[in-house]
Amino acid sequence: MKHVMPALSAVAAMALASIACNSLVAPAPTAAPASTSTRAVAISSPTAEVPVTPTVKNLPTATLEALPTFTAEPTSAPATNPVVGTAVSFDRLSLTLPTGVATGASGTLVDKAEGDNVPPWGVAPTHIELKLEGYALQGKFHKPEIYVYPAEAYAQMQNGAAESLKRLRAALTGASTASLTTQDLPFVPFFEATQVFAADVKVTPFQNGKGVRELTEYAQYAAPVNNNELIYQFEGLTDDGKYYVIAILPVTAPSLPEDAQPNAAVPEGGVQYPDVNSSNPDWPGYYGQVQRNLESLEPGAFAPNLEQLDAFIGSLSIATAN
């Protein structure tokens, strides 16, 4: 996912391994799916209403037993103001793009991927991939995308997905997210890297489910937190536990450097990262300071505004199979 900077020695790599490495590291996609089916995304004129009746199509779905370790409680619609923006639907996914966050979307129904020619992290059942167009931030390391998977089928096919779903269910049924660390939080199963920190973790509902959102960054080494790679990550489950949602949305913060280069300027009020030439750089302390720094900022200090992104997630609706 990232190239290792020469200045980051084995000491730095060991620091990351001790503070942020999951036993199941989620790899990044490096191979295209076997085949895909692209369909038109239905986009309505701008509206001030959150879509609540998505278009349902009879998509092929896995006939699997209910998830044995998670019973979701019914989730009412998020208690937020209606999203002002553009209503979009693709297959069973419907949402509203907030004005100023994105202008459109393109959807793909990605075919099931497995077999000897598919890397372990690329194994997945048929799923939805929605790419946001005209997103407020351009040229960042990650692309703004939403994925919808049949949860149990994904867990059965891929160990990383099974572990991430296990963590997600635990977080949703726990009393609080305050004590959760990167070792406890769900992660993106197809990233070949691990979360180096997590900030502003919250349980966030959507129209027919709920999930966990956080600010995070993925890396393969002890890396500085920066505006090129910072993301708003959401992972959720529908109320019936059948569909697993992953949203990856780039964000920036005024206190972070623009990239991970060693000479990148840290803005006033930001956190200087450890001296990588030191015999024992304090990466855990650095990530803790960054977490507290980001959590001290108002939602409107970020781009896009975190309240807009929460409202965007709140507008999601996933029609379940009959």
Give the pLDDT score at 81: 56
In a domain, 202, yes or no: yes
pLDDT at 179: 86
Q: What is the pLDDT of residue 177?
A: 87
Instruction: Give the DSSP H/E element, type plus range, for residue 154.
Output: helix 151-157
Q: What is the pLDDT of residue 258?
A: 97
Q: Which residue has the tokens 């349902």?
A: 56
Q: Does 151 reside within a domain? A: yes
Provide the pLDDT for residue 176: 84
pLDDT digits (tens, 9 = 90+) for 95-124: 999 999 999 999 999 999 999 999 999 999
What CA–CA distance (Å, rounded) separates 228 from 283?
A: 19
Task: Determine the Cα angle at 206 with ends 203 and 208, to 5°.
Answer: 120
Identify whether 190 is part of a domain.
yes
- Residue type at position 251: V
Number of domains in the chain: 1
In-domain check, residue 59: no
pLDDT of residue 186: 98
Segment 236-287, tens digit of pLDDT: 999 999 999 999 999 999 999 999 987 899 999 999 989 888 889 999 999 9
* 25 inside domain: yes
State which residues form the domain around 234.
10-51+65-256+298-318
Residue 223 lies in a domain: yes
Beta strand pairing call for 93-98 and 42-47: unpaired
Burial 36-74 (b: 16+ CB within 10 A, else e): eeeeebbbeeeeeebbeebeeeeeebbeeeebeebebee
| Residues in the chain where the model's pLDDT stays below 50 | 3-35, 45-77, 79
Asked if residue 113 belongs to a domain, the reply is yes
